[in-house]
Amino acid sequence: MQKSPPILEEIAKDIYLVSIPVPLMQQVNCYLIRGENGFTLIDTGLYTKEGIEIWEDLISSGIFIEKIVLTHFHIDHIGLAKWFKEKHRIPVYISSAGYEEMKQRRKGDYTDWIVSIFQLHDGFRSFKESIEYQIAMEEQLLYAYEFEPDGLWADNQYIQLGNEAYETIWTPGHSPDHFCFYNHERELMVIGDHVIDQLSPVILLESSSDMNPLMSYYNSLEKIKEYSIKLALSGHGHPIENVNKRIEEIKAGHQYRIEQILASLKDEEKTAGQMSQEIYRKANTKLAYGPIMSTIIRCIYLESIGKLRSECIDGKRVYRLAD
Ligand SMILES: [Zn+2]
């Protein structure tokens, strides 16, 4: 059978988009940046048969990948890094912060930690549900982090992508290790999952290295506003031309949900689990943990700025409006 041609689209000079299908999220954007020594690949896609086929097609069609640079450690971005390294001997670079998160996940106690967070915030309807969640998480994490990166970078450095130097900008929030890369001459930013067209990036409490991710996210959005950006290349969806406008839309979306939380607590105290059931009544059941997580991160943020108070009652964190 004839293989379908690889999905490859030049979206800026010498920068090609490769869209890799991802279950539930539809697709992840990977970018091939042309250079004298080959292409730099930004992000790899999830470890799936479909993803591997796309990359095998591209490599056999003559695309030479010099190195891989990762925006952050989430499995839809890092998932095939180990495969590239082992199968095609392509070096992989990640931030020091990303490497720390990888090592943390390898210890195997990560899912216990995240389950305990959901339990504390009343996020599971049953014990069975918590076990099912844990098993699904462990399956996903099993493969992705079992490799050693070939190089690390930190905030405020320059990294070579293709032929050009890009500034590394640490933008925690969506993940504790998230990085954007900025090309000063072209006013072009590889923005990863920090700002996405159409959908609001999920903000996850997923690491003890960042216990107030929404606060981090807001700070990282401010950081980005200092750059003049003509084109931003996101990890999902379309390229963005007006980043500041999109930032304001995303912030307004959070603010809308924050107002709902404050309204929900007007007359009685509640857990994040109770509030999320109330606020997201029509939520897609496949992504049921998203609404709970979003409510948790907003409650933590609101408590940190003095709008809410909480106490632990019978093992559950209960929120009320601050006096
Ligand atoms: Zn992500």
Residue 98 in tokens: 């990303």
Tens of pLDDT, residue by residue over 224-262, are: 999 999 999 999 999 999 999 999 999 999 999 999 999
- What pLDDT score does 286 carry? 42
Q: How many other C-beta atoms can be found within 10 angstroms of the C-beta atom of residue 316?
A: 18
What's the structural domain count of the chain?
A: 1
> In DSSP terms, which residues pair with 35 in a beta bridge?
38
* Angle at which helices 127-144 and 81-88 cross, to 10°: 30
What domain range is 165 assigned to? 9-321
- What pLDDT score does 129 carry? 72
Asked, for residue 4, whether it belongs to a domain, the answer is: no
CA of 65 to the centre of ligand 1 (A): 23
CA of 320 to the centre of ligand 1 (A): 31
pLDDT at position 105 over 80? yes
Name the band, by pLDDT with cuts 50, 70 and 90, for residue 9. Answer: confident
CA of 76 to the centre of ligand 1 (A): 7
The span from the CA of 255 to the CA of 235, in Å, is 24
CA of 265 to the centre of ligand 1 (A): 30
CA of 74 to the centre of ligand 1 (A): 5
The span from the CA of 316 to the CA of 256, in Å, is 25
Name the band, by pLDDT with cuts 50, 70 and 90, for residue 1. Answer: very low
Residue 66 in tokens: 């010099």
pLDDT at position 142 over 90? no
CA of 49 to the centre of ligand 1 (A): 20
CA of 209 to the centre of ligand 1 (A): 16
Name the band, by pLDDT with cuts 50, 70 and 90, for residue 108. Answer: confident
Strands (E), the chain: 9-12, 15-22, 26-35, 38-42, 65-69, 92-95, 151-153, 158-161, 164-170, 179-183, 188-192, 231-234, 308-313, 316-321
Helix (H, G, I), strand (E, B) or coil at 166: strand
- Cα–Cα distance list, 140 to 40, 47, 89, 105 (Å): 26, 9, 23, 11
CA of 266 to the centre of ligand 1 (A): 34
> In this structure, which amino acid lies at residue 61?
S
Sheet holding 158-161, edge to edge: 158-161, 164-170, 179-183, 188-192, 231-234
- What pLDDT score does 92 carry? 98
Tens of pLDDT, residue by residue over 83-92, are: 999 999 999 9
CA of 178 to the centre of ligand 1 (A): 8
- What mean pLDDT value characterizes the chain? 91
CA of 21 to the centre of ligand 1 (A): 14
The model scores a pTM over 0.85: yes
Taking residues 195-200, what's their average pLDDT? 94
Looking up tokens 């996210």 gives 217
Taking residues 4-17, what's their average pLDDT? 81
Asked, for residue 70, whether it belongs to a domain, the answer is: yes
CA of 66 to the centre of ligand 1 (A): 23
- What pLDDT score does 2 carry? 41
- What pLDDT score does 243 carry? 98
Helix (H, G, I), strand (E, B) or coil at 306: coil
CA of 313 to the centre of ligand 1 (A): 33
Looking up tokens 């697709």 gives 27
Asked, for residue 1, whether it belongs to a domain, the answer is: no
Asked, for residue 21, whether it belongs to a domain, the answer is: yes
- What pLDDT score does 284 carry? 47
Asked, for residue 2, whether it belongs to a domain, the answer is: no
Residue among 92, 93, 113, 115 nearest 104 (CA): 113
Asked, for residue 176, whether it belongs to a domain, the answer is: yes
CA of 135 to the centre of ligand 1 (A): 20
CA of 61 to the centre of ligand 1 (A): 29
Taking residues 3-8, what's their average pLDDT? 56
Which H or E run contains 116? helix 110-120
Asked, for residue 3, whether it belongs to a domain, the answer is: no
Output the domain CATH number for residue 108.
3.60.15.10
- Cα–Cα distance list, 98 to 245, 308, 321 (Å): 29, 31, 36
The span from the CA of 211 to the CA of 214, in Å, is 9
Residue among 98, 92, 82 nearest 41 (CA): 92
The span from the CA of 193 to the CA of 180, in Å, is 9
CA of 191 to the centre of ligand 1 (A): 11
